[in-house]
Amino acid sequence: MSIWQQMFSKRMLIAFIMGMASGLPLLLTGSTLQAWMRGEGVSLEGVGLVSLLGLPYTLKFLWAPLFDRFVPKFLGRRKGWLVLIQICLAVSIALVGLFNPLTSLTLLLSMSFLVAFFSSSQDIVVDAYRRESLSDEELGLGSSLYVNGYRVAMLISGAGALILSDYMSFGFVYMCMGGVMGISALSTLFADEPTITDAPPRTLKESVVDPFVEFFKRDGAIWALAFIFFYKVGDQMASNMTMPLYLDLGFTKSEVGIIVKAFGFWATIAGGLLGGSLMIKLGMVRSLIVFGILQMISTAGFSILAMVGKNESVLAAVVSFENLSAGMGTAAYAAFMASLANKKFTATQYALLSSLMGMTRVFASAPTGYMAASMSYVWFFVFCTLIAIPGLLMIGKLSKMLQPSHR
């Protein structure tokens, strides 16, 4: 089967749609919610509380074993949970729109927390579904389409929601987004339930303890966790300081919006598709190396921008290359994590790995403002480039954990 045939197959379409379903709620409990709250006159202290809504995404491994252990009586283990969660998610998103941020802030944040909980739970099941429904050879392309669907949905719930709010109330916007989420539940009905040869865990001990024991018994498990931390740490640290860099160089918000968002979005989409396609030819290990080197080079580009100063052409080139390489690297990164999950404990093990990825983003990015202020932008981005080297050096240690088809 050719790459194009694989890309337009039913399994890949489902991966893309499930990526959209996972990406839609994220900004509705993030920047879009903050924009609504601040526009209604909520204090900065209140707006700051929105960051706590991200906790379910970093702690989802705590309840992930439930999705491996218990099987709904309808549609199967993955589809059954997905439909149930997506219905709850659609309803909770719509209900957020019933509360006024100024007069019912506690209720608004409580309902938004439910959205975040159901959203992170959906991520658990979607990640497990993708691992179980795609063959080892399809994981790279499937992960890239999932990531692209995720980013398209974030555009809808971010920029799309903000544009709609100029023509209707934010409350009605959230109700519309709940309706869009409901369509995802309908699309799940057309997906095929994965065929799993291993029996699901029979007890809570098997679903809670055994996944961690099985993973850490593998040769190279610690190297795999260290790699997950380091592979994109430089890229994540750099991205936290790019917006301040643009503004400090003198770019206007309109210039940033047009150049960074327009060029960056499409470059990321292209990078994800290109990365997924190349992985079929290169295999997992070579893809991680090549895409990792490209990520390093793109991070160094911000140092060049900092030295050049305000230059729209340089900004467009740096942003385009950075987003292209980030899209490729993310596709390989997601496929690698999926490949590590034992299909008997897919939900639990993938949730553990993706939670570690989320913790990396939070904790490694926290001190970047202090670092950029003390080192200057030029040397800060040089540091972000160099800190990616340990992750690349660890790739050789991972081959024992990968299937032969991934090497």
Q: Which of 169, 200, 231 is the last residue of a domain?
A: 200
Query: Is the pLDDT confidence value at 407 over 50?
Result: no
Q: 257 and 169: one domain?
A: no
Contacts with 404 (C-beta within 8 Å, 6 or more apart), sequence order: none
Better-scored residue on pLDDT, 21 or 274: 21
CA dihedral 345, 9, 149, 355 (to 10 degrees): 10
Contacts with 10 (C-beta within 8 Å, 6 or more apart), sequence order: 192
Cα 329 → chain centroid? 12
Domain hosting 303: range is: 209-407
Spell out a b/e string for 302-327, using b for 16 or more CB atoms within 10 Å of the CB, else e: bbebbeeeeeeebbbebbbbbbbbbb
- What is the percentage of the chain residues whose pLDDT exceeds 70? 88
Q: What is this structure's pTM?
A: 0.73
| CATH number of the domain encompassing residue 407 | 1.20.1250.20
Q: Which of 389, 396, 406 is nearest to 282 (CA)?
A: 406
CA dihedral 391, 150, 215, 196 (to 10 degrees): -140
Average pLDDT rounded to a whole number, residues 40-69 = 77
Q: Provide the strand spans (E) within 157-271.
A: none
Q: 5 and 150: one domain?
A: yes
- Mean pLDDT for the chain overall: 80
Q: 57 and 184: one domain?
A: yes
Q: Which of 177, 200, 223 is the last residue of a domain?
A: 200
Q: 226 and 255: one domain?
A: yes
Cα 103 → chain centroid? 33
Banded model confidence at residue 10, pLDDT cuts 50, 70, 90: confident
- The reported pLDDT for the residue numbered 402 is 56
Q: 4 and 132: one domain?
A: yes
Q: Rounded to an integer, what distance in angstroms lies between the CA atom of residue 292 and that of residue 288?
A: 6
Per the structure, the count of domains in the chain is 2
Question: What angle separates helix 10-28 from helix 139-155, to the nearest 10 degrees?
Answer: 40
Q: 139 and 275: one domain?
A: no
What is the tens place of the pLDDT at every residue in 304-363? 999 998 898 898 888 888 888 888 887 788 778 777 777 777 777 777 777 777 666 666
Q: 264 and 373: one domain?
A: yes
Q: 299 and 217: one domain?
A: yes
Better-scored residue on pLDDT, 381 or 331: 381
Query: Is the pLDDT confidence value at 294 over 70?
Result: yes
- What is the percentage of the chain residues whose pLDDT exceeds 90? 14
Q: 180 and 63: one domain?
A: yes
Q: Which of 200, 234, 261 is the last residue of a domain?
A: 200
Q: 87 and 114: one domain?
A: yes
What is the tens place of the pLDDT at every residue in 213-223? 877 787 777 88
Q: 193 and 217: one domain?
A: no
Q: 279 and 160: one domain?
A: no
